[in-house]
Amino acid sequence: MNVTFEKKDELNGTISVGISTEDYLPSYDKKLKDYSKKANIPGFRAGHAPKSMVEKMVGNNMLLEEINALASKGLFDYIEENKLNILGQPILTEDTKIDELSKEANYTFKFDLGLTPEISLNISNADVFTKYSPIVTDAMIEDELARMKKQFGTLTDVETVGENDMIYVALTELNDANEAFEGGVDAASVPVAVNTIKDTDLSDEIIGKAKGTELNVNIFALFNNDESEMGHALGIQKQTVADLNPTFKMVINEVKRTEASEMNQEFFDKLYGKDVVTSEEQLKEKVKEELNGYFNQQAQHLLEHELFDTLVAKHNIQLPDAFLKRWLMDRHTDKFTNENIDEAYIPEANYLRNHILEEKILVENKIVVSEEEIKDAAMAYTKQMFGAYGNQGLSDDLLMSIVEPQLKKDDFRSKMINMAVRQRVNEYILNTITIEPKEISAEEFFKVMETHNHSHHQHAE
């Protein structure tokens, strides 16, 4: 077998695998002979069918299997032995066409390769980044306290509608004569948060009304033209919402109001457990600490995103774009087409550039992610997932009992390895660059975040 490599440029190459009869005939003949000994063909005793008949029946498939196996082995052995760093997987060149197989023929398979670009790592303390430090104000603490008091408040029935109340209404679809529409929608109890109604004329009309009040409303205005919400509230298919008559009779059956909790020990205990906080001043310090922690986490997340985006751009990582587009369309025919490949390729290319820089940092600094670090990443990820649903305070033993079975699943393990790798890479970068702290108001910080997210989203597209 003759295997050669032609490097077309820094990012593209072709491997040719030449297979002669001497390469495949001995193995092919042996497999055919072994098969003949076991073949059970009608009209012949087992293993006694003529070789020519057996070959006519299965020879072509055996030959194809043998030649393909040799071509694949020659290709990947060459890549491994010569330590070619490739992107994607090799694909047959467009001019490699083998229409018919013959055991007397020689074959040449040509494979196009996308080569990983060589980059020189260029990260130092001359790379300066800003880490924002949002200022937590007394007003922010008071706003958070008000939210917490409302969250743990008491739901009470009231007689008239206020701007922050929840009302439960009966809704009946009306016809052009303002009478109940025959066969129309009739919902007995639909919850509506008054402060979510964007039509101010409608909300002003509802505020101040007493329980039992009847009034005609525009159903689309009541639900802010949200067809999904309307379908869910009225118990109908989203697709049928557009066919509704806009005028509905609305009867206010109930008015619910959340009365804020009092600032007392019972409230403190609900928030943090018995006697963890025992005064309003302690509560304010606790809230300030949590807000600082939240902003620090967001600022760190922003810093890591910005530094990686900037450093990837700085290294000007070029890719074999034409090859990769062709490989994606060949591998995922349901996802990538001639019509969408240019746009769909952008996030794939961004991911590859990030990965190439990560790999360069890992290799050049001899960074190896340990099994313990993978478990730590899985623990942190799982804890965050449970925290999103309000299940904080889970013991490490319980979390580990959840994590360990998950780590045996290839997809989850791969994801955790990637997280652990990114953490080590970020640590290296953060210890190498220069970080300048900058105090900023929360309002300014949110604007910076919004600008970054918008830019990052566009870049990902």
Most confident of 77-81, 333-337, 446-450: 77-81
Confidence of residue 28 (pLDDT cuts 50, 70, 90): confident
Instruction: Tell me the CATH architecture of domain 128-138+277-460.
Output: Orthogonal Bundle (1.10)
> Residue 11: left (phi > 0), alpha (psi -120 to 50), or beta?
alpha
Q: What is the mean pLDDT of the chain?
A: 90
Answer whether residue 233 shows pLDDT above 60.
yes
Give the neighbor-by-neighbor strand order of the sheet with 2-7.
Answer: 2-7, 12-19, 107-115, 86-92
Question: What pLDDT, in 10s, does the model give residues 333-350?
Answer: 889 999 999 999 999 999
Q: How confident is the model at residue 60 (pLDDT cuts 50, 70, 90)?
A: confident
Please, which pLDDT band fits residue 24 given cuts at 50, 70 and 90? confident
Q: What's the pLDDT score for residue 159?
A: 96
What pLDDT digit, counting tens, does each position of 283-318 carry? 999 999 999 999 999 999 999 999 999 999 999 999
DSSP 3-state of 411: helix
Cα torsion through 416, 422, 425, 430, rounded to 10? -130
What is the rounded CA–CA span in Å between residue 142 and residue 149? Answer: 10
Taking the C-alpha atoms of residue 313 and residue 311, their distance in angstroms, rounded to an integer, is 5
Q: How far is CA 111 from CA 13, 94, 179, 338, in A?
A: 8, 9, 74, 21
What is the DSSP code (8-state) at residue 406? H
2-115: CATH superfamily:
Trigger factor ribosome-binding domain (3.30.70.1050)
Phi, psi of 308 (to 5 degrees): -70, -45
Considering the chain, tell me which residue range(s) the CATH 3.30.70.1050 domain(s) occupy. Answer: 2-115
Facing residues of 113 across strands? Answer: 13
Indicate if the alpha-carbon torsion angle 289, 290, 296, 300 is positive or negative: positive
- Please report the pLDDT score of residue 121 as a whole number: 95
**Contacts (Cβ under 8 Å, ≥6 apart) of 164:** 194, 195, 257, 258
Predicted confidence at residue 27, as pLDDT, reads 87
CB 173 within 8 A of CB 181: yes
What pLDDT, on the 0 to 100 scale, is given for residue 422? 92
Mean pLDDT within 135-147: 95
Provide CATH 3.10.50.40 ranges for the chain. 154-259
| For range 13-20, the mean pLDDT | 95
Residue ranges of the chain that CATH labels 1.10.3120: 128-138+277-460
- pLDDT at site 454: 75
Pairing of strands 186-193, 12-19: unpaired
**Averaged pLDDT for residues 33-57:** 64
**Exposure pattern of 335-354 as b/e (b: 16+ CB <10 Å)?**
ebeeeebeebbeebebebbb
Cα–Cα distance for residue pair 321/402, rounded to 1 Å: 41
Start-to-end CA span in the chain (Å): 45
Q: Is 3.10.50.40 the CATH classification of the domain at 154-259?
A: yes
Separation of alpha carbons 186 and 18, rounded Å: 76
> For the chain, how are helix, strand and coil distributed in percent, rounded to 5?
50, 20, 30
Provide the pLDDT confidence category of residue 328 given band limits of 50, 70 and 90. very high
CB 194 within 8 A of CB 161: yes
Q: Comparing C-alpha atoms, which of 111, 113, 22, 19 is closest to residue 67? A: 19
Spell out where 164-266 has E strands: 166-173, 186-193, 214-218, 247-259
Per the DSSP assignment, residues forming a β-bridge with 12 are: 114
pLDDT score recorded for residue 458: 54
Does 206 have pLDDT greater than 80?
Answer: yes
Kindly state the helix (H) or strand (E) to which residue 20 belongs, with its residue range. Answer: none
Q: Give residue 62's pLDDT.
A: 80
Supply the pLDDT for residue 457. Answer: 57
Q: Which two tokens stand for residue 405?
A: 């079975």
Helix (H) or strand (E) holding 134: strand 128-135
142-189, pLDDT tens digit by residue?
Answer: 999 999 998 899 989 999 999 999 999 999 999 999 999 998 999 999
pLDDT band at 434; cut points 50, 70, 90: very high
The number of angstroms, rounded, from the C-alpha of 370 to the middle of its chain's C-alpha atoms is: 25
DSSP of 253-278? EEEEEEEPPPSSHHHHHHHHSTTT--
pLDDT at position 213, please? 97
Which amino acid type is present at position 112? D
How far apart are the C-alpha atoms of 379 and 125, rounded to whole Å? 32
| Higher-scoring residue by pLDDT: 49, 144 | 144
Any long-range contacts for 355-359 (C-beta under 8 Å, 24+ apart)?
356/116, 356/117, 356/119, 356/317, 357/119, 357/308, 357/311, 357/312, 357/315, 357/317, 358/421, 358/422, 358/425
Could you tell me which residue, 386 or 47, shows the higher pLDDT? 386
Q: State residue 31's pLDDT score.
A: 81
pLDDT attached to residue 102? 78
Dihedral of the CA atoms 298, 301, 306, 307 (nearest 10)? 130
- The Cα 230–Cα 234 span in angstroms is 6
In this predicted structure, what is the pLDDT of residue 399?
Answer: 85
Identity at 55, one-letter amino acid code: E
Q: Does the pLDDT of residue 429 top 60, yes or no?
A: yes
pLDDT at 38 over 60: yes
Q: What are phi and psi of 291, to 5 degrees?
A: -65, -40
